[in-house]
Amino acid sequence: MAERSKAHAWKVCIRQRIEGSNPSLSATTIRKFITNLSMNAQLIDLFYQCEDYFFKAISRESFILENETAVYITGVPVASLNLVVMHKDINNLKDFLCECDQFFCAKNLPWAAVLSEHYLEHELEESLARLYFEDAENATPMVIAINKKPQFEPQVDRLVKSTDTNLKAWMLPLIEAFHSTEELTALYLQTHEHALSKPSQLRHLTLFIDDDPISSLTLSFTNNVARIDDFGTVPSYQGKGYGRYLLSYALEEVKKLGVELCFLEAAETSLSLYKKMGFTSLFRRKYLWNFLR
C-alpha cells in the first residue's frame, strides 16, 4: 500500500497533461528538411512529434513530467505498449526509473523505458552500465523523403485494403509477426478502436493474398508528416517481397496525400529492408524493461 501511495504521489506531483498538438508545420519548412536531411535536430523533433501523436491516440492515458519525459499507458499488459520516453538526459536516472517502476507496479502493468543516444552525456552503453534490468532491445528511428522513395509498381495478385472498419483482419498478421497471442493482440486492437473513435488521423492497411490477410501496418498523420507503426508480416510469407510491397504501397498513399516526410522506428532485424527502401537513420535508442528491484 505504501508503494501504491508513493507511486500515486509521484504521478500527481510531477506530471503535467499534454494539451493539444504542436502547430502544423508549413510545407515550405518541411521542404527545407527534405533538401537537407542532415538537419538532424529538426528531424529528431519531428520524429518525437509523430511518436507522441501515435501513442497519445492509442493510449488510455498520457502525460509529460517536469523533466520532459513522456509517459504513454495503453493498459495492454505488454512492456513496449506502456512507455516512459525520455527526451533528455535525466539526473539520478536510476532513482527516476525506480519511481517509474513503483508507479507501474501499482497499476500492475509491465512497462519499458526508452533512452536515446543523441542527448546522453556518455555513450549509450556506458549509461546503461549503471542501470539494472533484465531485458533490452535496440531500435533505430528513421525517416524518408517521399520524393526519394522507390517507384510503386502494382501487382494484380496482391490486394491492399484499408482495414479501418475491419480491424480483426488487420490484427491477424500481427499475432504471428510479433510472436504474440490472439488475446493480447485483441487487447491491442481495442486501443486502435479507441483511437478511431476520436478525431485521430490513423489509417490501417492490410495486404491480402488469396483473400488471406498476410501483412499489416498503421499510418498516422500529424503536422504534415506521417509515421508507420505495427508493420508485420506472417512469418511463412516473409522474405518473399510481400512486406516490402505493403510498405511501398503505404508510401505511395502518403505521397498521394501530399505528405513529404515519413518516419518509423526500426528493429535491428528490419534495418536493411528500410535502408533499401530509402529510409535514413536518425539516431539509436534502447528499450529497457524488467528492472531489478
pLDDT at 175: 98
pTM (whole model) above 0.75 = yes
Q: Domains of the chain (ranges plus CATH)?
A: 2-139+285-291 (3.40.630), 146-281 (3.40.630.30)
Query: Which residues neighbour 40 within 8 Å (Cβ) at sequence distance 6 or greater?
Result: 118, 282, 283
Average pLDDT for runs of 10 along the chain of length 293: 40 36 52 56 94 98 94 97 93 88 95 89 64 82 95 96 98 97 98 94 98 98 96 97 98 96 95 94 91 65
CB atoms within 10 A of CB 168: 11
- Tell me, what DSSP letter sits at residue 110? -
Report CA Rg, the chain.
Answer: 19
pLDDT at 101: 92
Say what angle helices 40-58 and 27-35 make with each other, to 10 degrees.
Answer: 120
Q: In whole angstroms, what separates CA 68 from the centre of its chain?
A: 18
Task: Give the bridge partners for 86, in sequence order.
Answer: none
